[in-house]
Structure 1
Amino acid sequence: MLRAAGVGAGDEVIVPAFGNVEVTEAAAKAGAAFAFADIDPMTYCLDADAVEAVVTPRTAAIVVVHRFGRSADMMRLREVGQRHGLLVLEQGESEAPYDEIAQRRARAAYLDARLRGVRTPDGGDGHTYQQYVVRVPGNGRPDRDAFARAVRARGVECRVPVKTPVHRMAGFRRDVCLPETERAADETLVLPVDASLTKREMQRIVSACNALGGLVQPAF
């Protein structure tokens, strides 16, 4: 898409550092420089104010990645693009059938109502819960990784969605200030909400997480 739009040498592309190294690689393969902007802590997608703060005369495009079943604030991001004459490209996620999305939403609602000690995801803007991402803030107590190990020991699968932000990776390393990206990389954990999960399995997820409720406290 970048090459087809004429983006190349001498241009700069604004990309997220939270996940998807392929997006940064695409900018580099097109011959453009890349610049990282911070994310919105609720959607995990590019934040419009953060994007505008890193626009330079060389900036030609913004690549927006929709993440975890939440959409970026495209209205505000397009406004930034229009103000600066920038191309705004989107990378979406594969769509699931409506009945599968409905079941995931039902399971997400079940967890939202019962989980303690973690911060549950914001369900706004038509969240499809492609992934159910909670926050496990450390606050001086055992951190996200310790929490994940303890949950797995109780028979519940969970995983870290973004282990290393792109701006910390070899070959893409940049000395930039991305506090929300860093915080999300340190705190996020994916819990299962697959449509195939039974009620007993959902109860096991809640029991496993809530048994650790004294280890961490939600940061509001």
Structure 2
Amino acid sequence: MGTIGMLKSAGVGAGDEVIVSAYGNVEVTEAVLAVRALPVFVDIDPDSYCLDAGAAAAAVTSRTAAVVVVPRFGCPADLGWLQELGRRHGLLVSERPDAPGVEGSALVQRRAQAAYFDERLTGVRTPVARAGHTYQRYVVRVPGNGRPDRDAFARAVRRKGVDCQVPVKTPVHRLPGFRQEVCLPETERAADETLALPVGGGLSRRDLQRVVSACNALGGLLQPAF
């Protein structure tokens, strides 16, 4: 069942509030609006990039009907804590998949590649290891003064043949049609700093070495050119 069907079956509709993340997954926000409910954006946990349980708890009001949680990049959310929040307040708590799952040999390979990067990358902040992480994307942070630093770093490693991507360019609460004036510092920081490095099938040990060499050769942050 999709998010719209799940919300409808739970009786969520006009006048209700649904707590969601603004860090990607615009389709969840669209589903909330489709049932005429109000999306309430709350901040993310800076390590998992998933909905922050404490922020969700602080956002609960008498109109809150549901919390929709999405794993990010293969990292699971703190679902147990959120389910307890749902029980206390009588809320629907639903976890929606972020992408097709990774299993079997593909999962073993991705975790091995992630471990290789964890041990060798410098100049970027590697993902925080969590139980159950499948590394659907290997997302690092290029911390500094904001987006110019991350983007300059990305351009430099692309020139060295590394296919990196910005995972979330603009948070949902900043997109036209979804704008809300809300303070989400961790969401904004993640959008400015994160970069997804290649993992998965088809990458050889030499490919992994190329990624590490390209990143480490930069010596950390690059300042934007003016």
TM-score (norm 2): 0.93
SS at match of 1:34: strand
What is the RMSD computed on CA atoms of the aligned residues?
Answer: 1.5
Say yes or no: does 1:169 pair with 2:175.
yes
Contact preservation (8 Å) 2:157, 2:214: yes
> Hey, what does 1:121 align to over in structure 2?
127
Alignment: residue pair count: 217
Paired with 2:175 and 2:146, the residues of 1 have a C-alpha distance of 26
Pick from 24, 32, 53: which aligns with 1:27? Answer: 32
Letter in 2 for 1:14: I
> Hey, what does 1:152 align to over in structure 2?
158
Identity level (%): 68
Q: CA deviation at 1:96?
A: 2.1
SS at match of 1:133: strand
Pick from 4, 16, 26: which aligns with 2:21? Answer: 16
Deviations along 1:74-118, whole A, 9 cap, x unmatched?
111111111111100111231123110100110111111000000
Contact preservation (8 Å) 1:139, 1:216: no
> Hey, what does 2:3 align to over in structure 1?
none
Pick from 109, 112, 118: which aligns with 1:112? Answer: 118
Letter in 2 for 1:88: V
Deviations along 1:153-205, whole A, 9 cap, x unmatched?
01100000000000001111011111110010000000011122011111100
Paired with 2:213 and 2:108, the residues of 1 have a C-alpha distance of 23
SS at match of 2:93: strand
Pick from 94, 101, 108: which aligns with 1:102? Answer: 108
Contact preservation (8 Å) 1:133, 1:190: yes
Contact preservation (8 Å) 2:124, 2:220: no
Paired with 1:64 and 1:7, the residues of 2 have a C-alpha distance of 16
SS at match of 1:3: helix
Deviations along 1:1-60, whole A, 9 cap, x unmatched?
101111001111011000011000000001101100110011110011000111111110
SS at match of 2:131: coil
Contact preservation (8 Å) 2:7, 2:35: yes
Q: 1:140 to 1:8 in 2, by over 3 A?
A: closer
After the TM superposition, which of the residue ranges 79-88 and 18-27 deviates more from structure 2? Answer: 79-88
Q: 1:25 to 1:114 in 2, by over 3 A?
A: same
Say yes or no: does 1:72 pair with 2:77.
yes
SS at match of 1:143: helix
Paired with 1:121 and 1:192, the residues of 2 have a C-alpha distance of 14
> Hey, what does 1:210 align to over in structure 2?
216
> Hey, what does 2:188 align to over in structure 1?
182
Structure 2: stretches of 5+ with no match in the other structure: 1-5
Q: 1:31 to 1:104 in 2, by over 3 A?
A: same
Contact preservation (8 Å) 1:117, 1:216: no
